[in-house]
Structure 1
């Protein structure tokens, strides 16, 4: 029997933005429902040591997300392990359908579905994710002090990460399948002037190799795009920097987006183009993409949702703040 769950506030996504929204919404007595999505905990679950979370000199990414989940639940957030497959924002209350068959009905929605780093899709790349292969230089660059590392890509993301990584690495090899970067000229100028960066043109990564016990990267194999020749490049870290894709599948046709699909919010706000729908975290943030900024936006979204719901209490179409169950055929 399919179920219909009703709540004042539905939070979609379970990274720092989603869990923080849950904490603040619960404190506002909104009794929110949070649907975790396909990757409970978000991108931090694929990170090992986190050293830039305030209050923790060092914490494991998965452990941090478990703590956030426990905090949100302790405050009163109902956390459900489901995946939203369809979201109807055409009228309030909003309707979301879960992969489980459950329909969620809410008077306000916080979208915290995040963004996903683009990957090359190599089996060896997957094997070493979090153990030498990363998609976030600001997250993991610190661990490669004095080491030789590799950056894959040729756009703004790749050049920015290569430049940032020179603060730690002894050498950064930038691997690009063409002989011309797609980055902004000012970034290219900085890269060309940096003695630690060595571009490798007309090459693409075909394999990451390393040790199994302990798991760790020792280098990569690259193929020349014109001759097919294979070359080994020793490296302790591999940063795949071919961009990020916001997880906007639910709203790309209903909410205003920009910058390659990131959800547009009003200035200094998490309000989207649909009243009652708020976006927080990497789904809307194409600039910072940090856990701490995502958490901050989750707080903003919950507070704005609380104000929105209070202002619409006289509309006569609000639903109970207490989650309910309805059985349907």
Structure 2
């Protein structure tokens, strides 16, 4: 018995060390990217001038990076504003199985290779975010947080989406102190502890299965009477965790420093209770990152960009969109990449037509 316990402790320590090592490698990679970007932007800002490009891409996820690579291959003067930490939601995925040519690999590993590939193709990546856009006339004006102003004759918006929150008491207070939306990022902190996953889709299944390799106990709370995840994934999940249906989350409970529980209500009986837990992981869908362009571009009723699927162009000529931010998107990485390449191709056609005119 004692030998078995020692083996378990060593396994947990090794898992923790592997996770820390992987996080360290990723951190160093992005740090080098940020330093390189800082030097470029310092030179640009030192001149007191804006930078003019033919096409500017907003977004550093798979869609934005793929568009940038396609533009670079076509020798189109362009810039990709990736945000401070490129990768998008794909970096939250513990295992990606629908990327062509890859059986199964972590989202972080895929994104790291994609960034390296895009840079090798000559794309100019700027690790900064846009804070203001003027799309009333061409060239469009894009103001960034730290890298000055860019002007572009065409724009590709690939800002993706962000994890949806519950907006219940205690959620904001304990965000990062036990409340998270990324099991891949934070699972190592819950070795031999108890955690809760909130959600009923494939994302909830992915997070729960990943957490089960670290936590002592994983409980999935589903608001409805069944899960939306694929049946095969649910069967896989049942081998490792407990699923509780018809539960509504009311409040995140804590001691001021960290999460200690979550208040839930049975949607049938109305009975409320506090469920003790060390961590709460949210997997309840995503919201499009359209706050920057919501007053300039036509959006759907749920806030996604309305774009022509043949051209990926929005209601503004010269402004294209791709990825999860587009209404009707399949929310799949290969689809986002395909739409981004299409958007880049149409942006190139737009620029060349304007030049010819």
| Offset of residue 260 of structure 1 | 1.2
Following the alignment from structure 1 to structure 2, what is the Cα–Cα distance between the partners of residues 135 and 4?
Answer: 45
Name the TM-score, length of structure 1 as normaliser. 0.72
Gaps spanning 5+ residues in structure 1: where?
174-195, 209-219, 316-329
Report 1:228-267 matches (<5 A): 229-232=273-276, 240-241=283-284, 243-267=285-309
Q: Assess if the C-alpha contact under 8 Å between 1:16 and 1:291 holds in 2.
A: yes
1:119 to 2:165 alignment = yes
Gaps spanning 5+ residues in structure 2: where?
1-45, 188-194, 213-217, 255-259
Tell me the number of residue pairs that the alignment of Structure 1 and Structure 2 aligns: 278
Deviations 1:77-117 (A, max 9, x none): 10111111011110011110010151101110111110111
More helix by share: 2
More strand by share: 1
| Offset of residue 159 of structure 1 | 4.9
* Higher relative contact order, structure no. (Cα contacts within 8 Å, ≥ 6 residues apart): 1
- Which position in structure 1 is the counterpart of 2:122? 76
Name the TM-score, length of structure 2 as normaliser. 0.67
- Which position in structure 1 is the counterpart of 2:310? 268
Following the alignment from structure 1 to structure 2, what is the Cα–Cα distance between the partners of residues 293 and 135?
Answer: 24
- Which position in structure 2 is the counterpart of 1:223? 263
Q: 3-state DSSP class of the match of 2:120? A: helix
Report 1:43-54 matches (<5 A): 43-54=89-100
- Which position in structure 1 is the counterpart of 2:245? 199
Following the alignment from structure 1 to structure 2, what is the Cα–Cα distance between the partners of residues 257 and 275?
Answer: 15
- Which position in structure 2 is the counterpart of 1:106? 152
Deviations 1:182-212 (A, max 9, x none): xxxxxxxxxxxxxx9752345446369xxxx
Deviations 1:280-299 (A, max 9, x none): 00111454212111111111
| Offset of residue 246 of structure 1 | 0.5
| Offset of residue 249 of structure 1 | 1.5
Report 1:20-59 matches (<5 A): 20-59=66-105
Following the alignment from structure 1 to structure 2, what is the Cα–Cα distance between the partners of residues 61 and 80?
Answer: 21
Q: 3-state DSSP class of the match of 1:255? A: coil
Deviations 1:38-95 (A, max 9, x none): 4411111222232222212222211211211111111121011111101111001111
1:282 to 2:313 alignment = no
The 1:234/1:8 distance shift into structure 2, 3 A limit, reads closer
Q: Assess if the C-alpha contact under 8 Å between 2:61 and 2:89 holds in 1.
A: yes
Following the alignment from structure 2 to structure 1, what is the Cα–Cα distance between the partners of residues 333 and 307?
Answer: 18
The 1:137/1:96 distance shift into structure 2, 3 A limit, reads same
- Which position in structure 2 is the counterpart of 1:305? 347
Report 1:70-219 matches (<5 A): 70-120=116-166, 121=171, 122=175, 123-126=177-180, 129-130=183-184, 131=187, 137-138=201-202, 141=205, 144=209, 149-153=219-223, 159-161=227-229, 165-170=233-238, 198-204=244-250, 206=252
